[in-house]
Each structure stands twice: as structure tokens, then as C-alpha cells.
Structure 1
């Protein structure tokens, strides 16, 4: 990791988001078209083509759930249950209620909160299993009151899903889980097939084909976001321990070769120690090739002259994950404007938030924390305005509204008001 001394905040984490090649976009459009036309038949065909497994059914069977519980030890199952409780407790505090207010003249105004009818959660497959993705996407939907939650995930070579994913889904009571991945899964969730009924919103990360498919179907359904590679920024002073910082940086680097791990510190000594620790620790990781490629390309250490500059750099970076490991991290919280999740102090290591603490780990990336928030209960609800105008208010205000309507050239609007006085 390169060390750079900085005297101002002109540093950016933002990178060009991968929008795919023209061929990839065409492939995705072809897949979506085939699923719309041929439904389940296309899903079976693409699963055999891309996942190298021939399925007789898309839905997960009870036998598969039973096998998943046998595969995981009892302690791990209990940990999943405890994590689910923590996540649910946190998200219960986010839920907003409908409200109504009354004026003295009898006018009633309000807002009605309504949960979405159905959501789809895409759980990626590939080189790792992600039960945490199940917990983080399903639980806020349940808290919001979503009645139908569907999980899709690509099957492994045995034609099933990872045990952790199945156990997490079963523990949450998800009734619909289908063994289908890629753009074809997104198409099925958006348009529906004989087996998979369409949903209203699609959540969850995936590869470039999943991301492109979500872009294609947006408008037919809602989507959560187009997530970029994982990011971590650590803000540290001279009190921080280099070995711990290095370990936290690598916790994100092992995700993906394009992940970004950055240290912003006021201590040259800490910077040099972390640089050495990263080199030492990365060689010991099972996914060391991925982690090393990440830190070599997107890892960096910035040494700031003071905390004021360091904080300005952090806000410019607007990271997905921000750790504050300083003598008094809480005192710096008011100065942090842009970050998806903020971890304060030595013992708030980023993986605590990824799995167990309770806040959601689905976070804005690529600098979008400047205007975006973590996944939350509101993402699974919609708002309707309520207007019940009294006669007294109408007679008081109709002429003002009619005048505004005519200013915009909308005569029928004005007359709709005036008709009521004839």
C-alpha cells in the first residue's frame, strides 16, 4: 500500500461504475426476453448452461432444508438465530407509522404507510455462501410488513444451495426459495413465470449480469441499488494499533479484487506500521491472491497534517464503511457527514456490523453515501398522502388555487374548483 502525505482534502474514492460491455448488455436483454417468452423452460435451460446442473424443480425441497440443518453444527445455528434477533431489534426501531392531523376547520391531512406486497431477494452464489445477505435483506422487509418474500440464488454443482443460506431462510420463515441465479433470476422476479410469481421490488447484490438485469427491469419493478465493490476507510491517530487496522483493511480486500481499503491517519509511524502489517498479514489469508490484488490496486494510506484535514478527506471519500479508531472517536462523530456505516472505537471492527451487531450491512458504495442511506425498513414501504378538505377551507382557498392553475394554462383545473360553487 502506497503512503501519501496530504495537506488538503482533495482525495476521491469514486471510480467509474462498471456498466458492462455492449455484448454483456445484449446477452442480458436476450436472457430477459427468453424468460418472458418461455418462463420456467428458459430458467431450467440457463441454469444448465451457466451453473452446469440440470434441475427437475426450481423450488428448494424439505429434504434440502433437513440436509442443511444436518450440515451446520448446533452452535452455528444458534449464532444465526442470535444475529437475526439483533438485526430485527435494530430495524424495529426504524418503522414509521401512518399519521393524520386535523385543522380547526375540519380539514384532515395525513400520510399512510403501506408495506410492499412482494419483494425478491437475490443471494449471490459463487466462491462463498452468504447467509448474512438473507438476514439483512429479509428481516427489514418482515419488519415493514411485507407478506411475500422470495429468495433466488444460483445452485451449486450438486443442484442445491449452501447450508447457511437455507438455514438462515428457514429460521426467518421464508416460504419461497428458488434455485436460479443470474440475469434469468432477475427476469423471473420482474415478469414472473409459472413457478415464480412476479414481485414489486428486487434486492440483493450480484455479478455484472445481475446488475445489468436489475437496470433493465427497473421501472417494471423497483430495485435497491447498483452496488459497487466493497470499501473501507479507517480514520486513525497515534493511539491505534497497526496490526488491528491492517486486519480490518484486509477484511474488505478479501471480498473482491476491486475492493478498496484506505487508511487516513495523522501519524506517520502508524502509517508505516500498517503498511508493513498489511504485507505480512495478506500472505496468510486463504484468499490472499484476491486480497493482494485489491490492496495493490485500490489500497492506499494517507497521512494528514491534523485531524481537521483527515476528517475532510473522510467526508470527501464518503466510504461505505468507516472505522474511527482515535483517542476519542465519539467526539469526532458530529464532524462526519458522509459514510454508510460508522464504527467507533477499537472494538467496533467492521465484521461486527457485517454479521451481528444489528444495523444493516447493505450500504451505499462508490461515494454515494453523500446522498444515500443503508438498507432500511423504509425501503420496503411506500407512502400515500391523505387529503380531506373541509368546505370552509375549500371556500377560503379555491380562488387562489384556480389562479395558480390558470397561470400554468390549465383551465380545466380551475373550472373543477369553480364548479363546486355553482
Structure 2
């Protein structure tokens, strides 16, 4: 590869690091005769897969040139940065080159907007189409959609990519107008609605005939910047819930605001704490897998998540009248509300109870985090919490320790490890 090409690659990879919506699951595509690579249904993401494997994507911008002047964006029109571009052919060549060297397992392709939304979208489609048709690449591709692009281009993009995404960026129409006046909320939402409808239609068509090509088989995702404007966690979590329910999004990603450029429109405050980002991911997990609703986690009296307690523990302390639960009688839905009991451990409890009543000593082997769960459960009537169920006495015992550092990834030069500014990893049972 030419030095000039590698220099551009480093600039465009660095410019893409602020987009965190780069992981995926749900896409499965076997390799074909003469093809290259495959997509695994277990999931592929920038740092970790759902089964714990560490994998990587080539995560780049096609260009950091942009006609927009968003206050929070390092690549905005008025910012003085070196502008570079990769052609669609170069994007395809780089992806295949890195894949053949076993550096990556797929591509995450985003871009600044040049000339117009349609022109930019055509370039992105040309790049991924070259990968699919010329190089016969069957691996995972995540493609950004450009707000305002023609619906026909949006439809084409979903036929070539595994996952597509449009970033909402800011939680409210007013915030978007303030910090990104060149963009409109409707231009962002419209392709999201279109993709949602096309996915539903495609699923129905594929039930009739497997010959129908898949449309965005890994679904769509979006990103919200946290802390650039004054929205509460309640507003953000409620918006995420609506996106999951109305548009069937696979993921909403949260990115703590990082002041990369100076602008009078931006808040006169330090960057948003990573712990707030982490709590939002935990609340998001509860929405998607634990049966919680946004109004249960946050209300007018408590509009922001507790920085010291995970959201499920905070909810449990506000509803101590429901505890302790007898582990041998509680329903699956009730078990999911117990701090320290996750989806897998709740399933194991239900299964193990068919063989006989469970005792306290059995619970750790089933994956329950007894450090938290002990205060909220009994087993065969036995309670081992040691203290009364009172908010004031429990809180100090349940406060989180220091937050773990973010995962580490390799930089493109494959020599210096750097902290991944986009990764947020939720570990353990909530």
C-alpha cells in the first residue's frame, strides 16, 4: 500500500472513532464458492462479540470533508483539520487487504457529507457493492445512511449491508437545531422509519421465498451524544424505549460528550462522565432484556440515574415492599427484578426448580451474584441478608466500586495499543 494511502487511512480511522454505533449481531451469511469471508450470527463488533470473543472491524470514514457545521463534530466544515478522501475502490481494496492479513473480520463505513446527501450515499453504496460483487466479500458490513438521501438509495444500501444506521446524535429537536442547524430531525427519522418498514416487508417476503435477497439482516442502530445538551437521563431513556418499540431498532448507543472543538454553542462544562454513559447502557439493557419500562427506572422526582448504584439496584431500593422474594416460588419475571440475578441465572433457577427446592448454597452455582442478591431473596424461607430491608442501611452496602477502564484495542499500525474511545462493555449480572 502506498504511504499516501496509509496516511489517509490513519486520518479517516481517527475521525471515525467518535461514532460508537459499530457493533452488530443477528446477521448470518455462509461463504460461497469463490467468495471471501462470512458473517456469523453470534455477532461481530468493534471490540467484543456476544459470546466473549475479541474481534475487529475496519472502522473508517470514506472522507472527513463535510458540508455541515455541527458544533460537536471534529470534522465540521469550519474546523481546521487536514481533509482527505478514499475512493470507493480504495475502501474496497483496503478492506480486502486487511481481511486477507487476518487483521479484521468486517467493515464499518461512515463518512462526512460531500456535495449532497445523494452524492455521498451513492459513493458509500459503490464501495460496498464493489466489495460484494467484484471481491465477492461475504463478511460483515455496517453502513451509515446519510440523512436526506433519496429513499431508493436507502433501499439499495440495505441490500448490500448487514446493518445500517442513522445517528440521531441529540435527543431532542431543539438540541439538534441548536448544535446542528444544517440537519433536520425529520431528515434523520425518515430513513429510520423507511428501514424499519423495509425490514418488516423483507421478513414477510423471505417467508414466502428464500430467494428474496435479505435487507439489512442485522437490523439498524443509532447513536445519541450524552452531555452536549441538558437533557435528563429520563428523556434519553424514554426516547430509546420509543425507538425500540416503534422502529424495532437493534441497538441505541450512547456516547459521552467529548469537547473536541471549541464552540460558543457547546456547554461550558467538562466532558460528560463515562459513568453516566455506563449507567445509560445498563438502563438500556434493562429495557431490552429484563422487562423494565422507562417510567419504572426514572420519573419526574428522579430524572437522572444514580451514579453510585446500577439502575436495577436503584429500582429495588425504591420498592423494598416487594422483597424478599422466595426463590422457589418467584416467577421468571419477578426473578429478573432481583439485583444480582440476570437472564441466564433466572433461566437456570426455573430449570433447576423442576428437580427440587433450591437452598441458599445452590444459588451461587447457578450464577447468582450473592453479594447483591442476598438482601432481596430467601431460599426455603432462609434469609441471609444479615440486615433489615431498609433503604438507608442497604445503600452503603450496594454502592458500586470504581468503574472498570474501557477495553483496549489495537491501533491501525498494529504496534501501539490505544484505549478504545467508542467501546462500552456491560459485564456481570445486573
Question: Which of the five TM-score ranges fits, normalised by the shorter chain?
Answer: under 0.3
Identify, as 1 or 2, the structure richer in strand: 1
TM-score, normalised via structure 1 length: 0.26
Identify, as 1 or 2, the structure richer in helix: 1
By relative contact order (CA 8 Å, sep 6+), the higher-ranking structure is: 1
